[in-house]
Amino acid sequence: MVRTFASAWTRRFVLTSAASGAAAALTAGCTMPVTQGSAPVFRNDPFSLGVASGEPTSDGFVLWTRLAPNPLDPDGGMAPEAVDVAWELAEDEAFTLIVRSGVERALPDWGHSVHAELYGLPAGREYFFRFHAGGVTSPVGRALTAPAYGSGVDAMKIAWCSCAHYEQGYFHAYRNMAEERPDLIVHTGDYIYESSWGPQVRRHVTPEPYTLEDYRRVHALYRLDPDLQAAAAIAPWLVTWDDHEVDNDYAGDISEQPFVSAEDFRARRLAAYQAYWENMPLRRRSMLERASGRMRIYGQTVFGDLAEVNMTDGRQFKTPMACPSETDRGGNIVPASCEELTDPTRTYLGEGQERWLSRGVAGSGAIWSFIVQPTLFSPFNFSNPQTGEAMVWTDGWDGYPLARQRLVDALARRENANPIILGGDTHCYWVTDVKADYADMNSATVASEFVTTAVTSQRGGYESTAAFLPNNPHIKHFDTREQGYGLIRLSRERAEVDLRVVGDVSRRDGYAPRNQKQYVIEAGQPGAVEV
């Protein structure tokens, strides 16, 4: 067997570089760069937002940074001119063995972001990268090409996370992910938050964003965090969004607020999507299509014969919520008798994405097939305490039961797929068996599901939610009391899943990582078993 990735990275170097870059940005004065054509002279560090890599393939990846000498200014402190940014790729962190170099133009229309796409590299290799502009060198990042398609791979480590509200805590989860040095980091959404609510230990720098400049400032604030920078630099990322990258509980081009027109909301979504692309390690193929106001972020990434990761988009193509109230078109708790719920045309992923996923899941022939979606996939059965009537939360998959069943049926048709569904959104840990027929708990388990708790975002109601667990025998674990992330160690025989919690996120010194629970899935035997 071929081992997937090398592990020669120096953790301290990444953490120190990211922290120093963020500290410099936070203390910088509000000065504009002096530009001379495409060769500016910066008074402050233009790489204040750090570096990242993403979307690995067997012969390359995308390298990201964004020039922002004054990152919290609407324009990042940049003049409205294009800037040439050089990049280097090396086999060693000291850059004595440089294997590639090039130049990208950072354009003002795209927030002076850089998305350098590399191709033609050997498969299954570890590399180090950095950028240069105006005589300044960026922090160093680590990138990895995926193993060759179908090649034998014996091990891989994946971290996944969700829901990082800047105001509600410090990003200990990102710090711990960087220390774990995974081969891949997966973000299931709510990477930023557009609104302020709940306990606040630090503050956003802008009111709720509506314009491109607003969203750029929010992304910049989050990117300044040294723990996020460390995680961004340590491994390639695959990302999807949920609602808070734009606005709470939106569906397609429909806002949760009835008084907001679809036209006005599309303008806001357009701004949010562009800022997301500018600040994430995404390829040009995902670039916002301004005419349609859409981005494609769903797709499949394959790691040899060991794993395929199917990233999905649960917001952009979603049918509006069923049975909305007069004052709220977002998620609501409604009776299960709501007739809209059983409309077969309702879709969570959109018709085109549903077809793509149903055809492609397990299509690579890899041992493990991951489906990454934003939230809890399995149903949660609860009832009205006064009437006993069954109730449904309409923003999640429970609001789209027939769409969920279509995906379950597709999984059931796949042999030797070992599907694992990953989610986030709910600020809780969930571990569930995905059943062929949820109305019959004796039906076959067709997949295992793990939902991570939040990086920081808070949620109460542990006792009231746990009281319904006896009505949900497919749920093996639930906990909303701690923040953290998930860590998966894959081998050909099993998937070992750690539910990592990180201590008191309300305190910078509250960092105390440990496992809350550990589970194992044996290949060929769907269903998680607690260790």
Kindly provide the residue ranges of all beta strands, DSSP E only, lying in 58-122, ordered along the sequence.
Answer: 60-66, 83-90, 98-106, 113-118
The SS3 of residue 47 is coil
- Would you state the structure tokens that stand for residue 109, as one six-digit string? 């229309």
Q: What is the pLDDT of residue 385?
A: 84
Residue 21 CA to residue 49 CA, distance in Å, equals 7
Q: What is the pLDDT of residue 313?
A: 98
Q: CB count, 10 Å around CB of 262?
A: 12
Q: CB count, 10 Å around CB of 363?
A: 16
- Would you state the structure tokens that stand for residue 452, as one six-digit string? 């991570």
204 in Cβ contact with 167 (< 8 Å) = yes
Buried b / exposed e over 78-116, threshold 16 CB at 10 Å, is beeeebebebbbbbebeeeeeebeeebebeeebbbbbbb
- Would you state the structure tokens that stand for residue 310, as one six-digit string? 């199917």
Burial of 252 (0-12, 13-18, 19+ CB in 10 A): middle
Q: What is the pLDDT of residue 375?
A: 98
Paired with 88 in beta bridges are 101, 130
Read off the DSSP letter of residue 99.
E
Residue 522 CA to residue 218 CA, distance in Å, equals 42
What Cα–Cα distance (Å) separates residue 512 from each residue in 170, 358, 501, 504?
12, 41, 8, 8
The SS3 of residue 448 is strand
Closest to 65 (Cα-Cα) out of 56, 53, 82:
53
pTM of the model: 0.93
The SS3 of residue 240 is coil
Q: How far is CA 90 from the centre of its chain?
A: 27
Read off the DSSP letter of residue 24.
H
Residue 61 CA to residue 382 CA, distance in Å, equals 44
Concatenating the DSSP letter of every residue in 164-186 gives --GGG---HHHHHHHHH--SEEE
Rg of the chain over all Cα atoms, to the nearest angstrom: 22
514 in Cβ contact with 501 (< 8 Å) = yes
Closest to 56 (Cα-Cα) out of 136, 156, 152:
156
**Tens of each residue's pLDDT in the chain, 531 residues:** 344 444 333 333 334 444 444 444 433 333 334 444 457 889 999 999 999 999 999 999 999 999 999 999 999 999 999 999 999 999 999 999 999 999 999 999 999 999 999 999 999 999 999 999 999 999 999 999 999 999 999 999 999 999 999 999 999 999 999 999 999 999 999 999 999 999 999 999 999 999 999 999 999 999 999 999 999 999 999 999 999 999 999 999 999 999 999 999 999 999 999 999 999 999 999 987 877 889 999 999 999 999 999 999 999 999 999 999 999 999 999 999 999 999 999 999 999 999 999 999 989 999 999 999 999 999 999 998 889 899 999 999 999 999 999 999 999 998 888 999 999 999 999 999 999 999 999 999 999 999 999 999 999 999 999 999 999 999 999 999 999 999 999 999 999 999 999 999 999 999 999 999 999 999 999 999 999
Read off the DSSP letter of residue 228.
H
Residue 478 CA to residue 378 CA, distance in Å, equals 12
Residue 134 CA to residue 33 CA, distance in Å, equals 9
List phi, psi (to 5°) of 372. -100, 120
Q: CB count, 10 Å around CB of 345?
A: 8
Residue 4 CA to residue 491 CA, distance in Å, equals 10
Place of tokens 């609501």: 332
157 in Cβ contact with 4 (< 8 Å) = no
Q: What is the pLDDT of residue 39?
A: 74
Residue 473 CA to residue 453 CA, distance in Å, equals 20
151 in Cβ contact with 135 (< 8 Å) = no
Task: Print the SS3 string covering 186-223.
Answer: EECCCCCCCCCCCCCCCCCCCCCCCCHHHHHHHHHHHH
The β-bridge relationship of strands 419-423 and 445-451 is parallel
The SS3 of residue 419 is strand
* H or E segment to which residue 91 belongs: none
Read off the DSSP letter of residue 88.
E
| Domains assigned to the chain | 149-189+298-530 (3.60.21.70)
Place of tokens 């193993």: 147
Buried b / exposed e over 411-438, threshold 16 CB at 10 Å, is bbebeebbbbbbbbbbbbbbbbbbbbeb
The SS3 of residue 361 is coil
- Would you state the structure tokens that stand for residue 60, as one six-digit string? 């390359």
Residue 311 CA to residue 313 CA, distance in Å, equals 7
Packed helices 11-27 and 226-234: angle between N→C axes, nearest 10 degrees: 140
